[in-house]
């Protein structure tokens, strides 16, 4: 039986989008993967670019609001930032909640090379987290 997994973040633009991409890659054969935010900011072009560098295309993913998924019985709800964890609505399910706060690469400063280095660093943390997750 396929599991339903929801990844939540503040704006559903970077961290949750990256996690959705890796969860699909590592666990897509046994799970339906969704991502959403407590707000929607659109998918960050740097998140798309950094994932493309690792061979994963997330360009077709969309930024969704958490309210769109309230009727889905999730098995896992992953929050990837403290803000989303604090604002996460109560879902009518027995979902296992897993929280891991990742730095927000969209808040990186500096030149383009320094900003992309932060996106890559966070991407690698999320990749490791998603790969080790037991579904």
pLDDT tens across 82-111, in order?
776 666 556 556 889 999 999 999 999 999
Query: Both tokens of residue 120?
Result: 């890559």
130 as an active site residue: the answer is no
**Given 26, 32, 83, 88, the catalytic residue:** 88
Tell me the CA end-to-end span of the chain in Å, nearest whole number: 11
- The residue-averaged pLDDT of 76-83 equals 88
Q: Which residues contact 102 (CB under 8 A, 6 or more apart)?
A: 15, 80, 81, 122, 125, 126, 129
9 as an active site residue: the answer is yes
**Given 31, 48, 56, 81, the catalytic residue:** 81
49: phi then psi, degrees, rounded to nearest 5: -65, -45
| Domains defined along the chain, listed by start | 3-132 (3.40.50.2300)
pLDDT tens track for 9-47: 988 999 999 999 999 999 999 999 999 998 899 999 999
14 as an active site residue: the answer is no
Question: Residue 70: pLDDT band by 50, 70, 90 thresholds?
Answer: confident
**Given 6, 9, 23, 56, the catalytic residue:** 9
Residue 42 burial class via C-beta count within 10 angstroms: exposed 0-12, middle 13-18, buried 19 and up:
exposed
Cβ atoms 35, 12 nearer than 8 A: yes
Query: Both tokens of residue 9?
Result: 């973040």
């Amino acid at each position: 039986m396929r599991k339903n997994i929801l990844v939540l973040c503040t704006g559903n633009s970077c961290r949750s989008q990256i996690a959705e991409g890796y969860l699909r890659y590592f666990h897509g054969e046994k799970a339906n993967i969704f991502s959403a935010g407590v707000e929607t900011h659109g998918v960050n072009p740097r998140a798309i670019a950094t994932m493309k560098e690792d061979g994963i295309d997330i360009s077709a993913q969309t930024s969704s609001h958490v309210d769109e998924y309230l009727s889905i019985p999730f098995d896992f709800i992953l929050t990837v930032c403290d803000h989303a964890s604090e604002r996460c609505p109560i879902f009518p399910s027995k979902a296992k909640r897993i929280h891991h706060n990742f730095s927000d690469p969209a808040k990186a400063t500096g030149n383009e090379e320094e900003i992309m280095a932060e996106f890559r660093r966070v991407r690698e943390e999320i990749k490791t987290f998603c790969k080790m997750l037991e579904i």
